Amino acid sequence: MTAEVAAPMIKASAVNKYFGDLHVLREITLEVPRGQVVVVLGPSGSGKSTLCRAINRLEPINSGEIGVDGVPLPAEGKALAALRADVGMVFQSFNLFAHKTIVENVMLAPMKVRKASKDEARKTAMELLERVGIANQADKYPAQLSGGQQQRVAIARALAMRPKVMLFDEPTSALDPEMVQEVLDVMTGLAKDGMTMLVVTHEMGFARRAADRVIFMADGEIVEDTTPEEFFTAPKSERAKDFLGKIL
Ligand code: ADP
Ligand code: MG
């Protein structure tokens, strides 16, 4: 047998990003193997969102390289659109199209970007809405759904592109407390199904239960990269201890 080593699903090498004089990503080097769930923690302003956006090339970087499934992310053009389709992203704000129904929201991108037929797109959308527990709301409009339901639709919409990787940037931060768990449950299901995930969250319970790995960022740097067990019981850096002291 040939010892073929699979490329990491996400690979960032010495990534630097500046906003003007502000150095927001400092020599970020990171490999996420296929199927791994990485939770990214860190204080506000530490660069977590910028890292997510850089992986998706929503944000250009100043130096370094980022690859997804062994393919370097191009800076622009058609190749970028294709690669971006491999990376699903879910934000704090769900941004569903208000004048489209739930199922139409999920059908849209596959029809536009993947050139799926309407029937095909609808079939996939309904399967995904089933998966996030919301198929019975398919013909409603976003405003008729709760925040937690809308965020589950946003997850289904991202999955409709059949991404290789899912990035979540504080997906539950805008939700009322009673709706947080239903969204985390969907994410836990995805993790169990083997999706490669990078999750920025303040939900420490989720980090402990669902993460294979915790990355702690501060001031644009990866300060710790370890297991949840290690991170929560024996953080090494002062900055992580300080962070945990404030949130736990
Ligand atoms: P986090 O998600 O960890 O809170 P961000 O990645 O949003 O951190 O921000 C990192 C730093 O970059 C912060 O100091 C923030 O103010 C700054 N920043 C983020 N986006 C921009 C932008 N578009 N222009 C200028 N500064 C930005
Ligand atoms: Mg952020």
In angstroms, the CA 220 to CA 108 distance is 35
Residues with CB under 5 Å of ion ligand 2 are 48-49
Closest-lying ligand 1 atom to the alpha carbon of residue 42 = 3
| Interacting residues of 21 by C-beta distance below 8 A, sequence separation 6+ | none
**In DSSP terms, which residues pair with 65 in a beta bridge?**
13
**Residue 116: DSSP 8-state:** -
The tens place of each residue's pLDDT in the chain, 248 residues long, gives: 454 567 899 999 999 999 999 999 999 999 999 999 999 999 999 999 999 999 988 899 999 999 999 888 776 677 777 777 899 999 999 899 999 999 999 999 999 988 899 999 999 999 999 999 999 999 999 999 999 999 999 999 999 999 999 999 999 999 999 999 999 999 999 999 999 999 999 999 999 999 999 999 999 999 999 999 999 999 999 999 999 999 87
DSSP per-residue string spanning 142-165: GGGS-HHHHHHHHHHHHHTT--SE
The one-letter amino acid code at 65 reads: E
pTM: 0.95
| Interacting residues of 20 by C-beta distance below 8 A, sequence separation 6+ | none
Ligand 1 neighbourhood includes 19 CB (under 6 angstroms): yes
Which ligand has its closest atom nearest to the C-alpha of 45?
Answer: 1
